[in-house]
């Protein structure tokens, strides 16, 4: 009985295999075909289908980058450089140059303020510039011109440079002018080695307030007006700002 069951099972399996593979189709036994030929007939030019690469216009987040907007046509009110060549060729405004003069003492600065009052506001300024004191190795004051000349001859013989002291120190001789007292005293000691015995250190000029005239933007319009300053500049000349 068991043998018969095994034989029946084997025959059933063999029959199913033959049926599934279509070997029994000539006798009308075969599985129903699942193909859909009508879909193939509905395709339109399948040979033109192409596989494209990833769109490079997308950002790293995957969002597409919008295409740039097309430039809008100029309206009737838009004015370009080509439409107005006169404005395109207009020269830039002259910024002018910076000029200065000095240093002036308080009296000279007051005269400059008066002379510059006619200039445009903001076109000039007097900037504080302290005048350092000056020290002199001095010989004198001599009683007369003859004594002065005799002393000058002695200095020439010792090859010591000198000149007239000037100002309130006449009649006298300057053997050197210095910005500090210490420097003047060092020179006095050096002259002692050359036989100079009667010289001494004096302060020729004390520290004093001073001023520099500054004109930050002198253009062609302002330049003719500067003549008003000439008489008050004490012989000093305008130069480019440093």
Q: Which residue has the higher pLDDT, 186 or 45?
A: 186
Q: How far is CA 100 from the centre of its chain?
A: 24
Domains 97-130+210-240 and 134-205 fall in the same CATH topology: yes
* 96-147 residue pLDDT tens: 899 999 899 999 999 999 999 999 999 999 999 998 899 999 999 999 999 9
Local confidence band at 203 (pLDDT 50, 70, 90 cut-offs) = very high
Given this model, what pLDDT does residue 21 score? Answer: 73
* 50 pLDDT tier (thresholds 50, 70, 90): low
Instruction: Locate 162 and state its tokens.
Output: 């000198």
What distance in Å separates the CA atoms of residue 233 and residue 101, rounded to the nearest whole number?
8
Q: Would you state the pLDDT for residue 14? A: 79
162: how many CB neighbours lie within 10 A of its CB?
Answer: 19
Residue with the larger pLDDT of the pair 41 and 21: 21
Q: How far is CA 79 from CA 38, 83, 91, 235, in A?
A: 65, 6, 19, 54
Q: What is the pLDDT of residue 59?
A: 46
Which structure tokens are listed for 61?
Answer: 């987040």
**Domain residue ranges of the chain, discontinuous segments joined by +:** 97-130+210-240, 134-205
Whole-number Å distance between alpha carbons of 156 and 146: 16
Give pLDDT, residue 99. Answer: 95
Q: What is the pLDDT of residues 208-232, one digit of tens each?
A: 999 999 999 999 999 999 998 988 9
Q: In the prediction, which pLDDT does 98 show?
A: 95
Q: Do 63 and 51 touch, CB atoms closer than 8 A?
A: no
Region 134-205: CATH code: 3.30.70
Looking at domain 97-130+210-240, which CATH architecture does it have?
2-Layer Sandwich (3.30)
Q: In the predicted model, what is the mean pLDDT of residues 163-179?
A: 95
**Phi, psi angle pair for 200, to nearest 5°:** -150, 165
């Amino acid at each position: 009985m068991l043998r018969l069951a095994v034989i029946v099972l084997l025959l059933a399996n063999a029959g199913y295999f033959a049926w599934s593979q279509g070997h029994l189709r000539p006798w009308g036994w075969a599985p129903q075909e699942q193909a859909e030929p009508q879909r193939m007939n509905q395709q339109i030019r399948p040979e033109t289908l192409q596989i494209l690469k990833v769109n490079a216009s997308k950002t790293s987040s995957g969002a597409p980058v919008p295409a740039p907007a097309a430039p809008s046509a100029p309206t009737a009110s838009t004015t370009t450089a080509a439409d107005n060549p006169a404005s395109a060729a207009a020269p830039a405004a002259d910024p002018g140059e910076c000029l200065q003069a000095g240093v002036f003492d308080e009296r000279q600065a007051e005269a400059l303020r008066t002379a510059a009052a006619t200039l445009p506001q903001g076109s000039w300024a007097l900037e504080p510039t302290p005048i350092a004191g000056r020290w002199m190795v001095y010989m004198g004051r001599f009683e007369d011109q003859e004594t002065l000349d005799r002393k000058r001859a002695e200095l020439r013989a010792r090859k010591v440079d000198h000149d007239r002291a000037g100002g309130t120190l006449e009649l006298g001789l300057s053997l050197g002018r210095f910005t500090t007292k210490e420097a003047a005293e060092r020179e006095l000691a050096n002259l002692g080695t050359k036989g100079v015995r009667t010289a001494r250190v004096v302060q020729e000029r004390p520290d004093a307030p001073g001023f520099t005239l500054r004109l930050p933007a002198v253009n062609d319009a302002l330049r003719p007006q500067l003549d008003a300053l000439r008489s008050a500049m004490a012989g000093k000349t305008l130069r480019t700002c440093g």
